[in-house]
Chains A and B, each alone.
Chain A
Amino acid sequence: MAEQPAGMGGVPGYRPEASVLRDIESMLRSRSLVERIVEKIKRLAPLAARRVGQTPIKIMDFCGTHEYTVTHYGIRSLMPPEVEIVAGPGCPVCITPAYYVDVMIKLSLEGVRVYTYGDAYKLPGSGRRGRDIRSLEEARAAGGDVVVVYSVLDAIKMAREDDKPGVFFAVGFETTAPATASPVVAGIVPKNLAILNVHRLTPPIMRYTFETHRDNPIRGVIAPGHVSTIVGAKAWRFVVEEYGIPTVVAGFEPVDVLLAILEILRQLAEGKPRLVNEYSRAVTWEGNVKAQRMIEECCEVVDAAWRGIGFVPRSGLAFRDKYREVDALHQYGIKELTPEEWRYDLPPGCRCAEVTLGIAKPTDCPLFMKTCTPGTPYGPCMVSSEGACAVWARFGGGGLAEEIARSLGIM
């Protein structure tokens, strides 16, 4: 959805007021610092491996933007053979059930304006390629009323101006939930705008993911930095206390991620898992309490479906009854998905659910970069800029080049 502002560093005309942001950025992308940390990672990895007793040591990033950092900056190529970085369920667009996409497509074709984040614009529903209208993009091409917005505020502004009935497609994890809750609680959502609330929560899916990695368990967690600004570092205490997995809340620059990996290996070598907040410039232990209160005010936690995975207990948000005025389910009489009615909702052959859970790599999917590309995505993980498949497609994770490089010993 959000494009990174172009040229944050080193661009002529860069404004000095924001220079501290540039200073931080250049420090956390510094080559010499990266080399120093990588050297330490390489020294500690064998110690950690000996203690763990199994390789590769799987370290999971739980955020699509971390996967972007890892792949874009080639961090996997800097890792010693003992360490494997695995992408986790960090892409909310990828796991939004096809059912809701279908609902939005239908509304848009029935004359209701659908507002969506850019990330979900090309997201396929359950329709078959070449036969049905699969996405909001295709719905718009077929005459549906679909508007891509950067934020709920934009949708509110537009809805106020033209009085047309509209529905906002509110996908996203805890980071995005305040964007929905803030205008709802403030009471500034106009009557002609409803919201389809399909927000999902990350701690429950993290538990679920751990359970699916039993043979070679996940040994370290790079916890999602921006989710943590809202829920607080405390949300990940259970990872250490119940699963004994070293956990580092990390920022999104290369040095942030490398520090997290170094700290995880150090804890593994020492045999003492802890929760460390590397991203303390933005994340506190308690999180953004005001945002938490707003979410709590208008939403309740419910069992919710994850695409290709099924229902996960207490892993989604739904509007409370007192806010049903803004709830699209209520306003448009849309039936909520139930565990009984949920059906496996990935297109045939798509391995997105396994990619999401870190069981398969994007390059393990036979469709990857064949019939499924960022331009014409077949499965949901190829759509959002945070989907692991889309990230690998754009920045070249894994695959033949990596195998050759490894066999030649240059990686």
Chain B
Amino acid sequence: MCLGIPAEVKEVRGHVAVVDFGDGVLREVDAGAIEDLKPGDLVIVHAGVIIERLKGREAEELVRNIQEFIEELERRAEELARLYGLPEAGAGAAPVGGGEG
């Protein structure tokens, strides 16, 4: 039920917005639950309603924020493990990569 799907806003027409879920098919969704929506915004759509906008002023910032957060959580876990005298993990703090998933 709570399956939210990321999408890009293509057009805003008052109460309704046209979005692209990334498959190229344009769909009309309810834009009534979100303020100041504009084309280009990345949003989460659930049950035909835009429930939230993805944070970050631009795409690169969004990706960077996620990467930083992952590294932050990993670092905290690493610190705690060290505190308890566990040996350093092999991979250590290699930068967050991706793409092969």
Which of A's residues lie within 8 Å of B, judged by CB?
Answer: 1-2, 4-9, 11, 13-15, 17-33, 35-37, 39-40, 43-44, 47, 63-65, 90-93, 117, 119, 150-154, 171-173, 175-176, 178-179, 181-183, 185-186, 188, 224-227, 229-230, 252, 255, 259, 262-263, 265-266, 269-270, 278, 280-284, 288, 290-291, 294, 384-386
| A260: nearest chain-B partner, CB-CB | B73
Question: Does A188 lie within 8 Å of B15, measured CB to CB?
Answer: yes
Q: Which of B64-94 contact A (CB under 8 A)?
A: 65-67, 69-70, 73-74, 76-78, 80-81, 84, 86, 89-91, 94
- What are 25 A-B contacts with C-beta separation under 8 Å? A5-B5, A5-B21, A6-B23, A21-B22, A24-B6, A27-B66, A27-B101, A29-B101, A30-B101, A31-B101, A36-B89, A37-B74, A39-B91, A40-B74, A43-B81, A47-B84, A65-B3, A117-B1, A172-B2, A178-B33, A182-B33, A186-B32, A230-B52, A280-B55, A288-B52
Residues A280 and B1 in contact in the complex (CB < 8 Å), given A153-B29, A229-B44: no
Residues A2 and B22 in contact in the complex (CB < 8 Å), given A23-B63, A278-B73, A291-B33: no
Counting residue pairs across A and B whose Cβ atoms lie within 8 Å, the total is 248
B3 to chain A, nearest CB (A): 5
Question: Does B46 lie within 8 Å of A27, measured CB to CB?
Answer: no
| Complex alpha-carbon distance, A378 and B41, angstroms | 42
| Complex alpha-carbon distance, A25 and B66, angstroms | 11
B28 at the interface (CB under 8 A from A): yes
B86 surroundings in chain A (CB, below 8 A): 43, 47
Question: Does B1 lie within 8 Å of A282, measured CB to CB?
Answer: no
Question: Does B81 lie within 8 Å of A178, measured CB to CB?
Answer: no
Residues A229 and B8 in contact in the complex (CB < 8 Å), given A39-B91, A281-B56: no
| Complex alpha-carbon distance, A291 and B100, angstroms | 37
| B27: nearest chain-A partner, CB-CB | A150
A255 surroundings in chain B (CB, below 8 A): 70
| B24: nearest chain-A partner, CB-CB | A15
Name the one of B2, B24, B48, B73 contacting A63, with C-beta atoms under 8 angstroms. Answer: B2
Question: Does B73 lie within 8 Å of A259, measured CB to CB?
Answer: yes
| Complex alpha-carbon distance, A28 and B66, angstroms | 9
A11 surroundings in chain B (CB, below 8 A): 23
Name the one of A6, A22, A23, A288 contacting B33, with C-beta atoms under 8 angstroms. Answer: A288
Specify which of A15, A22, A23, A40 lies most central, judged by the most chain B CB atoms within 10 Å of its CB. Answer: A40
Question: Does B51 lie within 8 Å of A288, measured CB to CB?
Answer: yes
| B45: nearest chain-A partner, CB-CB | A2
Name the one of A21, A36, A150 contacting B48, with C-beta atoms under 8 angstroms. Answer: A150
Which of B's residues lie within 8 Å of A, judged by CB?
Answer: 1-8, 15-16, 20-25, 28-30, 32-35, 42, 44, 46-49, 51-52, 54-56, 59-60, 62-63, 65-67, 69-70, 73-74, 76-78, 80-81, 84, 86, 89-91, 94, 96-101
B65 surroundings in chain A (CB, below 8 A): 280-281
A47 surroundings in chain B (CB, below 8 A): 80-81, 84, 86
Specify which of B20, B25, B90 lies most central, judged by the most chain A CB atoms within 10 Å of its CB. Answer: B20
Question: Does B23 lie within 8 Å of A2, measured CB to CB?
Answer: no
| Complex alpha-carbon distance, A179 and B48, angstroms | 7
Question: Does A65 lie within 8 Å of B2, measured CB to CB?
Answer: yes
Name the one of B3, B8, B97 contacting A21, with C-beta atoms under 8 angstroms. Answer: B8
Question: Does B22 lie within 8 Å of A8, measured CB to CB?
Answer: yes
Residues A44 and B80 in contact in the complex (CB < 8 Å), given A15-B22, A117-B47: yes
Specify which of A5, A7, A30, A185 lies most central, judged by the most chain B CB atoms within 10 Å of its CB. Answer: A5
Question: Does A290 lie within 8 Å of B35, measured CB to CB?
Answer: yes
| Complex alpha-carbon distance, A354 and B81, angstroms | 36
Name the one of B22, B80, B89 contacting A22, with C-beta atoms under 8 angstroms. Answer: B22
Question: Does A24 lie within 8 Å of B62, measured CB to CB?
Answer: yes
Residues A175 and B101 in contact in the complex (CB < 8 Å), given A117-B47, A280-B69: no
| B52: nearest chain-A partner, CB-CB | A229
Question: Does B80 lie within 8 Å of A270, measured CB to CB?
Answer: yes
| Complex alpha-carbon distance, A252 and B44, angstroms | 12
